[in-house]
Structure 1
Amino acid sequence: MDTPLAEPVAAALINAVNRGDTGYALAGRLPEAFAGFAARQYGWHPDASAARLVPDVMSGIVEVLQIISEPGDRVVVNTPGYPPFFYWLERIGRRVVQSPLAVGPDGHRLDVDRLERDFAAGARVYLLCNPHNPTGLVLTRDELTRVAELADRYHVRVVVDEILAPLTYPGARHVPFPSLDSPAAARSIALVSASKAWNIAGLKAALAVPGPAAHADVAAIHEEVSEGAGLLGVLAAEAAFTHGDPWLRRLITALDGNRRLLAAQLADHLPGVGHHPPRAGYVAWLDCRALGWGDDPAQVFLRQGKVGLSSGLRFGPEGRGFVRLNFATAPERLTEAVTRMAAARAQADERPA
């Protein structure tokens, strides 16, 4: 995001550098800080003593999968999906089962019937991203309860990437999966971090937070994995979760304004681009198939408009003809980006067939 650091986070980092506190990381008070944040924001009271420090959410997912599954096991991932899911699961020898989201008039939603078929076909783990990257989908309590019922029926473990949860917009509510009252939720493991919401991803600190029946699995994460986290990341995340609520509220208000601005700009200047405002996060998933630019319209926007967008191809087969746009920037820069994208379309339309 193009945003200054939250004041408490900046102060924690400056103080650490001033006192020369740049050694190896321990979890310190970070688990308690997150538990307090989860209680305030979600009404969830995770057991802080059971959480384990990991360098980041993706590395935490990899460690958890290597504990609760075996090489060759099937891991279900909703598509379009976060690109590192695909190559990391392949790297550790797990078989990715792509379970496409459904698309309706209000945007993407979970296809529960497809998910059940994928579970019934022999899945071992469901790697759920909620809130979802790249679509911004936030699953409701009823949808998550249905997922838990299916996971119980088919003996599927649930691992949840909840990194975008603090960035949920008004009108939606994040429900931590381990907070549900079900055996599958009790066996689940959530990966959480302050990295996206407070813009500190490069500082490296996240937590694996188990449901009540998954404590032993998280405890099995080797200590050397925790030591790969950054001390500055731990200190920054602790400050964010403890003192960062007011800054986060202001950030969400600003991002919500940009979310609405983007929708208006696209409607005015690129009406052929399909778009449903995300319910969380700061990226928009744009359907450019009507432009007729093939599978990778990001290349055209970059070449013709000098606007850098994420290629939808990286997010799985459902990303063909899509791009992902980061709108966490100044409103005038966002407006310029859409203006350039519209100019790129005009140039492409003017070319002789």
Structure 2
Amino acid sequence: MTRRTHGTAGEPNPLRALDLDRLRRRTSMKWRTYPDDVLPLWVAEMDVPLAEPVVRALTDALALGDTGYPAGTAYAEALAAFAEKRWGWTGVDVGRTAIVPDVMLGVVEMLRLVTGPGDAVVVNPPVYPPFFPFVAHLDRRVLGAPLGAAGRIDLAVLEESFQQAVAGGRRAAYLLCSPHNPTGTVHTAEELTAVARLAGEYGVRVVADEIHAPLVVGDTEFVPYLSVPGGEDGLSLMSASKAWNLAGLKAALAVAGPGSAADLALLPEEVGHGPSHLGAVAHTAALRDGTAWLDALLAGLDDNRRLLARLLAEQLPGVRYRPGDATYLAWLDCRALGLGDDPADVFLHRGRVALNRGLPFGTGGAGHVRLNLATSPEILTDGVRRMAAALR
């Protein structure tokens, strides 16, 4: 599978479009959780305007009063075309897709299809914190297979976890975060093929959260799990939510491989009533017509990664930062600063900058913070300045 290259086609960097005063007028979680003197660099919302094709699609729908229930396959068709053009992957069969309210609720529904109450779900901590409560609320057991020291899947540890998960003849699933949040690791074809081999050997079903797939930078290749040998019985959740900043416009797609089509067919019809019709309209427009905007964003994020690395080296040399190949999230190892297990608390109260705490990410999260770098260079610079000030 060959990754296609893209240019920005003259699109301006959307990360430079909005100043702090305008951003503080927003009423979403990122900007309303903390007091105005706190700079929010935490939850996965980007400081960008919407891509113009998305604005047009929503405006047209509102002008028509087109605010009913979602219908049709336009979203799935747009994803299939995007996947083929972007990743050289033709494996999104519209007939093996289902619209779901969002990626995490889709994950829950996929796990419900392939496991039962009390069964184990393997995850790779440190990992996206909602994995833990969502799995627990589903009455499944979370079983951790921590990432290796380089932030990659440790296949030996994963195999041990698979053995534990299926002990006694129980069903089990592996909730794969690909690309990985918070490290930004992009799993290789070889790694994913090895995962599929182990899953097949132990009878573990793979459910892949691939929400960050469009946010892969440079020459790194995103490999859909369903595309690797042995991945045919996997289930994937995809969405335009993270890449185009559409978290408030709920809609995602469950995608089945050829070997899991029968599982997906058992998804209750009412699950498809949960997504927003306007969400589906927005996600469709993003995938179909928003790639130039996305490429401009990716270029801006790459600039911000380099900026963050330089700022940390200059002002916080004790912080270890290994830029990831995907997402707009930076996983910062602050253990050398002597701030204890929860450095985000120190940065918040002494520096007035809000970051995600590392502890909720599970094993490997102590002493770490997650920083959202999808903002302007000026705000990012101020954020690091505040972090440094917290140590004085």
Distance 1:335 1:210 in 2: 42
Question: What is the aligned partner in structure 1 of residue 70 from structure 2?
Answer: 25
Question: What is the aligned partner in structure 2 of residue 97 from structure 1?
Answer: 143
Distance 1:55 1:206 in 2: 6
Distance 1:145 1:95 in 2: 25
Is the Cα contact below 8 Å between 2:196 and 2:229 reproduced in 1? no
Matched, 1:38 2:83: yes
Distance 1:230 1:24 in 2: 7
Q: Which has the bigger relative contact order, CA under 8 A and spacing at least 6?
A: 2
After superposition, the C-alpha distances for 1:69-126 in whole angstroms (9 at most, x for unaligned) are 001111100000111110011111111001110113xxx1111110111112234111
Would you identify which runs of 4 or more consecutive aligned residues in structure 1 move more than 2 Å? none
Consecutive unaligned residues of structure 1, counting only runs of 5 or more, are 347-353
Matched, 1:11 2:48: no
Matched, 1:137 2:182: no
- The aligned amino acid for 1:118 is S
SS at match of 2:208: strand
Instruction: Report percent identity of matched pairs.
Output: 54
After superposition, the C-alpha distances for 1:151-207 in whole angstroms (9 at most, x for unaligned) are 11111110000000000011311000001122xx11100000000001111110000
TM-score by length of 1: 0.95
Consecutive unaligned residues of structure 2, counting only runs of 5 or more, are 1-45, 167-171
Distance 2:265 2:294 in 1: 31
Matched, 1:284 2:330: yes
Aligned ranges for residues 191-230 of structure 1 at < 5 Å?
191-230=237-276
After superposition, the C-alpha distances for 1:248-299 in whole angstroms (9 at most, x for unaligned) are 1111000111111101111111000111001100010011111111111101
Question: What is the aligned partner in structure 2 of residue 157 from structure 1?
Answer: 205
Distance 2:156 2:259 in 1: 27
Is the Cα contact below 8 Å between 2:121 and 2:165 reproduced in 1? no
Is the Cα contact below 8 Å between 1:125 and 1:156 reproduced in 2? yes
Is the Cα contact below 8 Å between 1:164 and 1:281 reproduced in 2? yes
Is the Cα contact below 8 Å between 2:211 and 2:240 reproduced in 1? yes
Distance 1:309 1:17 in 2: 36
- The aligned amino acid for 1:125 is A
Aligned ranges for residues 48-63 of structure 1 at < 5 Å?
48-63=94-109
SS at match of 1:207: strand
SS at match of 1:109: coil
Is the Cα contact below 8 Å between 1:26 and 1:227 reproduced in 2? no
TM-score by length of 2: 0.86
CA shift for structure 1 position 27: 4.3
Q: CA RMSD in A?
A: 0.9
Is the Cα contact below 8 Å between 1:74 and 1:95 reproduced in 2? yes
Question: What is the aligned partner in structure 2 of residue 351 from structure 1?
Answer: none
Distance 1:49 1:242 in 2: 19
Matched, 1:172 2:220: yes
